[in-house]
Structure 1
Amino acid sequence: MKEQWWNFGQAANYVQANYPCESGVAANRFLADKIADGSLVTRYENGLIIQPEEWVRLGDIDLTVEGTHISHGAVEYQRASVEKLCNPSNPQARGGRPSKDWPDFLIEVVAMANTPDGLPDRQADLERTMLAWGEENMSDPPKETAVRDMVSRIYKRIKR
Structure 2
Amino acid sequence: MDGATVVDGAAAAGGVTADGERLAGTDAAFAVQRCREKLREHGARCTAPRIQVMGVLADHVGHLTVGEIHQLLVEAGGRLNISTVYRTVEKLTGLGIVHAVPGRGGEASYGLAGDHHHAVCSRCGAIEEIPGPQLARILAAAVKATAYRVESLIFSGLCPTCRLV
Report the TM-score when normalising by structure 2: 0.26
Higher strand share: 2
Larger of the two Rg values belongs to structure? 1
